[in-house]
């Protein structure tokens, strides 16, 4: 029998944790509940989940601090994080994405929305079946091994940025609008705003370091990956 996807639910309110867990269990997931960052860390040290549902407001370390910590840790770096927030305002969502969350969901949410988002982050994480290694300029991406290198040096990159870069590298020298990227990279973008693309492009550039300039912003149109040999230096 196939293993059920394991979902670590980090939530301090028992009623919400219980409701979420029951719904996950009824929909083919294996929920594990942790009431705070300490309990969550214990679970992560024992078994890596397939996805983390992380509440923003927690006693002790906040969800934001935990997301940042887990993104910075080699063991947990590639586990997708879906943040649960009671606040709906944009700066907080962006802060969550900046801290390393792959997506966020605002409370109160419907079960259907929660399940759709979880499935979307799991799909995004699924290894690409297309090809193995893509090279653009001195950037080399190995999709099968989930490795990225620039000028022979390995780069650390989050799962969503990896998928975004993989898509851009397969279609270099072409302008992609935000909605095209949402469609091709995120796939199920019913709940994702175009602004999300900008946040991930920013993170991608940071992850690329010296190669970050290869991702060009095309004003009013979108983004383009330019190989250095073609770059004119006129990109914004
Ligand atoms: Ca809470």
Using the mean position of ligand 1's atoms as its centre, give its distance from the Cα of residue 15 in Å: 11
Using the mean position of ligand 1's atoms as its centre, give its distance from the Cα of residue 18 in Å: 13
Tell whether the model's pLDDT for residue 108 goes beyond 60.
yes
| CATH superfamily to which 6-125 belongs | Response regulator (3.40.50.2300)
Q: How would CATH label the architecture of 133-232?
A: Orthogonal Bundle (1.10)
pLDDT in tens, 125-183: 655 444 578 888 889 998 878 899 998 899 999 989 999 999 999 888 889 999 889 88
Using the mean position of ligand 1's atoms as its centre, give its distance from the Cα of residue 227 in Å: 45
Annotate the chain with three-state secondary structure: CCCCCEEEEECCCHHHHHHHHHHHHHCCCEEEEECCHHHHHHHHHHCCCCEEEEECCCCCCCHHHHHHHHHHCCCCCCCCEEEEECCCCHHHHHHHHHCCCCEEEECCCCHHHHHHHHHHHHHHHCCCCCCCEEEECCEEEECCCCEEEECCEECCCCHHHHHHHHHHHHCCCCCECHHHHHHHHHCCCCCCCCHHHHHHHHHHHHHHHHHHHHEEEECCCEEEECCCCCCCCCCC
Domain ranges in the chain?
6-125, 133-232
Tell whether the model's pLDDT for residue 109 goes beyond 70.
yes
């Amino acid at each position: 029998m196939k293993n059920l996807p394991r979902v670590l639910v980090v939530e301090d309110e028992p009623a919400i944790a219980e409701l979420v867990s029951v719904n996950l269990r009824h929909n083919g997931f294996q929920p594990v509940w942790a009431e705070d960052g300490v309990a969550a860390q214990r679970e992560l040290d024992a078994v890596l989940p397939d996805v983390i549902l992380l509440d923003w407001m927690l006693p002790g370390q906040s969800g934001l601090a935990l997301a940042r910590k887990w993104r910075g840790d080699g063991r947990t770096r590639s586990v997708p994080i879906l943040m649960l927030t009671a606040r709906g305002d944009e700066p907080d969502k962006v802060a969550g994405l900046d801290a390393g969350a792959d997506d966020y969901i605002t409370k109160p949410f419907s079960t259907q929305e929660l399940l759709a988002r979880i499935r979307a982050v799991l799909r995004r994480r699924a290894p690409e079946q297309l090809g193995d290694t893509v090279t653009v300029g001195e950037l080399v991406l190995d999709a099968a091994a989930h490795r990225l290198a620039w000028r022979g040096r390995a780069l650390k990159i989050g799962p969503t940025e990896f998928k975004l870069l993989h898509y851009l590298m397969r279609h270099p020298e072409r302008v992609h609008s935000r909605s095209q990227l949402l469609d091709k990279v995120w796939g199920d973008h019913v709940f994702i705003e175009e602004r999300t693309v900008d946040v991930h492009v920013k993170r991608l550039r940071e992850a690329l370091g010296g190669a970050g300039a290869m991702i060009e912003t095309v004003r009013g149109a979108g983004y383009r990956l330019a190989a250095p040999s073609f770059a004119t230096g006129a990109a914004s």
